[in-house]
């Protein structure tokens, strides 16, 4: 066992109630899941009340707000749609995140049963369960997430090992490098171009 420095005697022991209030995280193996349940049918109503204004009635997303459903098999496409159904590897994350941080602007207001119901509805909206599906702490780990196997641990040190090298200093390219893409063509930079023009105008006409 490693040798540890002596203690300073600072802080005080955390009480069980305090730990219970703050330690809400849930791990992929279900550690941390509260006892409870909720079905997709009830979840649809809760979703309509608390979530649909941003995420859409069918979890398909409104405007720029996150889409929670759809996008199956698009991850290798030019513009992948990454949702709970198409991308998220673990259902634990959905429960954990919804319970702790949603609805946006009014987080930590849902009961555990409500969260189970909403998560069941999100699964339903991704065509992963039927509309009468009831999710509980008992059957939670039985749900199969389509992209559970879709992640690899950072492999840059091997797959990008060729970036450790002796850099080229002269004649590094054949021919003369040419401009092939320009930000000015897109012209989506906000304020800045305008801001600089305004600043130049001010500089030129600032008697007072």
Partner 1 sequence: MSDSFKAKSPSRRQFLSGAAAVGAGVVAGTTAKAAGPDPLITQVQDWASGTGDGVDATPYGLPIDYESDVVRRNVEWLTADTISSINFTPIHALDGTITPQGCAFERHHSGAIELRKQDYRLMINGLVDNPLVFSYEDLERFPRENRVYFCECAANTGMEWAGSQLNGAQFTHGMIHNMEYSGIPLRTLLEEAGLNAAGDLKDKWVYVEGADASSNGRSIPMEKALDDVLVAFKANGEALRKEHGYPVRLVVPGWEGNMWVKWLRRIEVTDQAVESREETSKYTDTLEDGTARKWTWEMDAKSVVTSPSPQSPIKHGHGPLVITGLAWSGRGAITRVDVSKDGGKTWETARLAAPGEKMAMTRFYLDTTWDGEEMLLQSRAMDDTGYVQPTKAELRDVRGLNSIYHNNCIQTWWIKSDGEAENVEVS
Q: For residues 45-64, which are near partner 1 according to CB under 8 A?
A: 54, 63-64
> What is the spatial distance between Cα 137 and Cα 36, in angstroms, rounded to a whole number?
6
Instruction: Looking at residues 102 to 141 of the shown chain, list those that interact with partner 1 (rule: CB under 8 A).
Output: 104-105, 107-108
We find the least distance from the C-beta atom of residue 132 to partner 1, in angstroms, to be: 27
Q: Is 208 in the site for partner 1 (CB under 8 A)?
A: yes
- The reply on whether position 193 binds partner 1 by CB under 8 A is yes
Does position 197 interact with partner 1 (CB under 8 A)? The reply is: no
Report the C-alpha gap between 193 and 199 in whole angstroms: 10
Choose, by CB under 8 A, the member of 8, 35, 142, 144 that binds partner 1: 8
Identify residues 159-178 at the interface with partner 1 (CB under 8 A).
159-160, 163-165, 167-173, 175-178
Number of residues that bind partner 1 (CB under 8 A): 88
Which helix (H) or strand (E) segment holds residue 38: the answer is strand 37-39
Distance CA(30)–CA(140), nearest Å, equals 8
Rounded alpha-carbon distances, angstroms, from residue 22 to 104, 108, 113, 114, 147: 19, 11, 18, 19, 30
The two three-digit tokens of residue 70, written as one number: 């759809």
Could you say which residues in the range 80-99 bind partner 1, by CB under 8 A? 80, 82, 84, 87-90, 92-93, 96-97
The first and second tokens of residue 144, run together, are: 């199969």
Residue 35 lies near partner 1 (rule: CB under 8 A) = no
Sign (positive or negative) of CA dihedral 61, 67, 71, 72? negative
Does 17 bind partner 1 (CB under 8 A)? Our answer is: no
């Amino acid at each position: 066992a490693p040798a540890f420095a002596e203690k300073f005697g600072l802080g005080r022991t955390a009480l069980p109630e305090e730990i219970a209030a703050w330690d809400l995280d849930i791990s992929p193996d279900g550690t941390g899941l509260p006892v409870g349940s909720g079905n997709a049918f009830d979840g649809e109503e809760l979703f309509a009340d608390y979530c649909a204004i941003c995420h859409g009635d069918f979890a398909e997303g409104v405007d720029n707000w996150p889409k929670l459903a759809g996008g199956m098999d698009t991850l290798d496409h030019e513009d992948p749609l990454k949702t709970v159904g198409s991308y998220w590897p673990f259902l634990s994350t959905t429960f954990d995140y919804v319970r702790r941080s949603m609805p946006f602007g009014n987080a930590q207001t849902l009961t555990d049963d409500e969260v189970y119901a909403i998560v069941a509805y999100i699964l339903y909206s991704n065509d992963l369960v039927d509309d009468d599906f009831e999710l509980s702490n008992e059957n939670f780990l039985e749900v199969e997430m389509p992209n559970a196997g879709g992640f690899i641990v950072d492999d840059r040190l091997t797959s990008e090992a060729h970036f450790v090298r002796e850099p080229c200093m002269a004649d590094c390219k054949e021919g003369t490098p040419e401009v092939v893409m320009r930000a000015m063509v897109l012209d989506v930079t906000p304020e800045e171009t305008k801001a600089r023009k305004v600043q130049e105008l001010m500089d030129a006409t600032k008697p007072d």
